[in-house]
Structure 1
Amino acid sequence: MIFQFRFLLVVPVLITLLSAESQKEGKIVSWGGDKRGQVTNTPAGADFIDISAGYLHSVGLRNDGSIAAWGTDGDQQVSGTPKGIGFLDVAAGNNHNVAITKDSTIVYWGWDYTVNERYARGRVPKEGGFIAVSAGGNHSLALHKDGSIHGWGWNTNGLISDIPRGNDFIAISAGAYHNLALKEDGTVVAWGDDMFGSVEDTPAESGYIAISAGSRHSLALREDGSIVAWGWDLKKEVSSAPKEKGFVAISGGYSHSLALTEEGRIIAWGWERNDEGQISELPEGRGFNKISAGDFHNLAIRTGS
């Protein structure tokens, strides 16, 4: 559910967002729910460059391009993880994962979305040229180097069939029930379930540089580092979003969200679902450069003390 900066080299408009700090490898820190070992089984090592928290499992990308996965494995979302090195991006969904190989092709493993033909729509792309992936509840999105969006999975509320057309997209974020995409002009596009304004309340102005779709709420980051939130606000997922500026990353989870400050501190708000520590166990200190909010747990990469 987190928007990732790593592939923006193909998008000159946002090159300024990249920094040596954001590319540093580090150690994964996990907190929150641990019913399936998504915290206690977090892999050791200080060579991780990216992370993605799913429902009850997680994936991480090492600096050699190898993928680590841990947590629940009911659909082989852990044991089915592809071997080898050179992967460029990886994302965790509800019970599935998606990754980009060194050849810019897509690899998908875990839950079989075609099990129900009534809801299944689209196919895992076989062609190359992809630069980013995002895994949602029961669906996935991929961004092609030509700026087009591809999707597959369950098509509830038009998650797949309503994918916007065009070649001017530079970022994607798949949520549990809706999706977001960012255009070259800095505007945000949303589609999917709109029960709580996840689509209708999407801001219309430009000037955004990052996006993240949670379960039924959304986040967008402005150029000045301020955060805009909209959608489901039952547990203050929207109204308690921080008002200050200077944030450099955002991530929306099931009913809570994370944000990263310029100095590498993590901020959290919303509802601590099932009192599993998603917010109360927030790690302190600086030196974090990546964040990912899952359903019951969170991840971060720490490069310093």
Structure 2
Amino acid sequence: MALRADGTVWAWGVNDLGQVGDGSTTNRNIPVQVCATGQTAPCSQFLTGVTAIAAGASHSLALRGDGTVVAWGYNGFGQLGNGTFTDSTTPVQVSNLANVTSIAAGTRHSLALRADGSVRAWGYNGFGQLGDGTTGGSSNTPVVVSVLLNATSIAAGGDHNLAARNDGSALAWGFNGNGELGDGTNTNRNVPTSVSNLTNVKSIAAGGNHSLALRTDGTVRAWGSNASGQLGNGTTSNANVPVQVCDVGQTAPCSAFLGGISALATGSNANHSLALRAAGTIRAWGDNSVGQLGDGTFTNRTVPVPVCTYGQTGACRYLDGVTAISAGGGHSLAITSPHADVRIALSASPEPVSNGGNLTYTVTVRNSGPSAAENVVFNDTLPTNVRFVSAHPSRGSCQVPPAGSTDTVTCSLGTLGNGVSTANSIVVTVRATPGSTVTNSATVTSSTSDPNPTNNSATIQTPVS
């Protein structure tokens, strides 16, 4: 699913139980708009005012701006929360639920965090994942999660849940057969229990049978099932207490650890993990059987690897400019907003230059990243007191005025990767009075968004002898 800035929701993929929300059970291989509540196909009205979305194994949730929640798709365990066990191909209102600030969808259950820091749960309860002190059966309307106050974020996994609290601690409940509750045991819990040895939690994420926590220092902890390396500690051994995720290129026991992380993602039936770096790149680890790590291979990874940009394989250029990440059972998604700090500098030789002599300008264009800069072009409007001789770009091509004239030199440099610099020369003959100066200016542009336009122009003055 995707939430657009205008508050509408679009979905695609398997739709056998109506989880796409377009009023049908037809699989969709391109995004379609999710219908409004009460609609039937073909829908004439569509869901609007949405601020957050969540996808379970076969059901979907949407949080609206008024604090209410709607749901659609499979409802065999009451995970739509509307008081029935009937599937719905369009959104239905979740009953008795208001003032919600965030939502999460597990495999067969759902969660909502309210503004007062309390949590509601509904759906399947076979392992105590509703957190109300009972085990077994299901609930088709929301129930209060016991002993949980001051929650700031929530996550729903396969059959377990996580909550971070405002004191930096984390709680977990539900299935614990792989240690995914992180309490040092493998005992299921039907009320929240504290995750061991974990403080300063900023956010959490829950996978099929593993859990992740981002700490305020930008490091990551993981616990639970590790059969595919999804804990990222260089092993495939389960852990029922948090372990620190290793850095890229490490082997167990690791001596360096992943840092600079701003967000985490995994899916309620996923065995892989994603981390978004503050610099806008992604690290991934765990199951890669269908390429969900995006590193150009199908090899599982027990420590993080960089994610390639689109169209790349093997030793690839990395995806950058990423602003958000999400993970499904066997796939991963990223929203990208590439930006590149392209800058230009001028130098001249010789200095001073004699009247009638040749002057060579070196135009240096550099991409300081973090993304690749597409369609880079620099323009050098030659001074009126020089005459063009030649231009020599280090890459690409230039449009030049006739020799002996004065006009603008335009050079197209193509794509410059992060950190790439080019030095381009322009030769002119000076026609100026001794004692005067020759003033030259150049500018650079790119079709990629530039966060720092103040260094997109340069000027140099050369004395004439």
> With structure 1 as the length reference, what TM-score do the two structures score?
0.73
Distance in 2, matches of 1:131 and 1:237, equals: 29
Tell me the residue number matched to 2:115. Answer: 102
Match runs of 1:84-233 below 5 Å: 84-114=97-127, 124-160=145-181, 161-162=183-184, 163-199=195-231, 200-201=233-234, 202-203=245-246, 204-214=257-267, 215-233=270-288
Is the counterpart of residue 253 in structure 1 residue 328 in structure 2? yes
Q: CA offsets, 1:157-195, max 9 Å, x none? A: 101134343330001000001111000110011111111
The aligned counterpart of 2:74 is: 72
The answer to whether the 8 A contact 1:105-1:126 is kept is no
Q: Which moved more, 1:102-111 or 1:125-134?
A: 125-134
**1:151 is paired with a residue of what secondary structure?**
strand
Return the match for 2:13 from 4, 19, 32. Answer: 32
What is aligned with 2:420?
none
Whose RCO is larger (CA < 8 A, sep 6+)? 1
Q: 1:178 to 1:115 in 2, by over 3 A?
A: closer
* Cα distance, 1:230 vs structure 2: 0.6
SS, match of residue 98 in structure 2: coil
Q: Say whether the 8 Å CA contact 1:77–1:95 is kept in structure 2.
A: yes
Letter in 1 for 2:221: V
1:155 is paired with a residue of what secondary structure? coil
Deviation at 1:25, TM superposition (A): 5.1
SS in 1 for 2:178: helix
Q: How does 1:271-282 map to 2 (within 5 A)?
A: none
Q: For residue 99 of structure 1, give the secondary structure of its aligned residue in structure 2.
A: strand
Structure 2 distance, partners of 1:178, 1:148, is: 18
C-alpha distance in 2 between matches for 1:158 and 1:53: 24
- TM-superposed deviation, 1:102: 2.5
Which of the two has higher C-alpha Rg?
A: 2
Give the CA deviation at 1:72: 0.3
Q: Deviations over 1:89-142 (max 9, x none)?
A: 1110000001112221010100013479xxx7xx93334211111100001111
* 1:135-162: CA deviation from partner (whole Å, max 9, x where unpaired): 0000111111111111111002101134
Local SS of the residue matching 1:82: coil
- Name the amino acid aligned to 1:53: A
CA–CA distance in structure 2, aligned partners of residues 194 and 167 of structure 1: 22
SS of corresponding position for 1:113? coil
Mapped to 2, the partners of 1:85 and 1:97 lie a distance apart of 15
Which segment is superposed worse, 27-36 or 123-132?
123-132
Instruction: State percent identity of aligned pairs.
Output: 35
CA contact (8 A) 1:25 1:49 kept: no
Query: Which structure: greater strand fraction?
Result: 2
Answer whether contact 1:58 1:71 (CA < 8 A) is retained: yes
Letter in 2 for 1:229: A
User: 2:62 maps to what in 1?
Assistant: 60
1:252 partner letter: A
Per the alignment, do residues 167 and 115 of structure 1 end up closer, same or farther by CA in structure 2, a change over 3 Å counting? closer
Task: Looking at secondary structure, tell me which structure has more helix per residue.
Answer: 1
Contact preservation (8 Å) 2:128, 2:175 = no
Tell me the residue number matched to 2:43. none
The count of corresponding residues between Structure 1 and Structure 2 is: 238
- 5+ residue gaps, structure 2, are 24-33, 37-45, 84-93, 130-134, 136-143, 185-194, 235-244, 247-256, 297-306, 309-317, 339-465
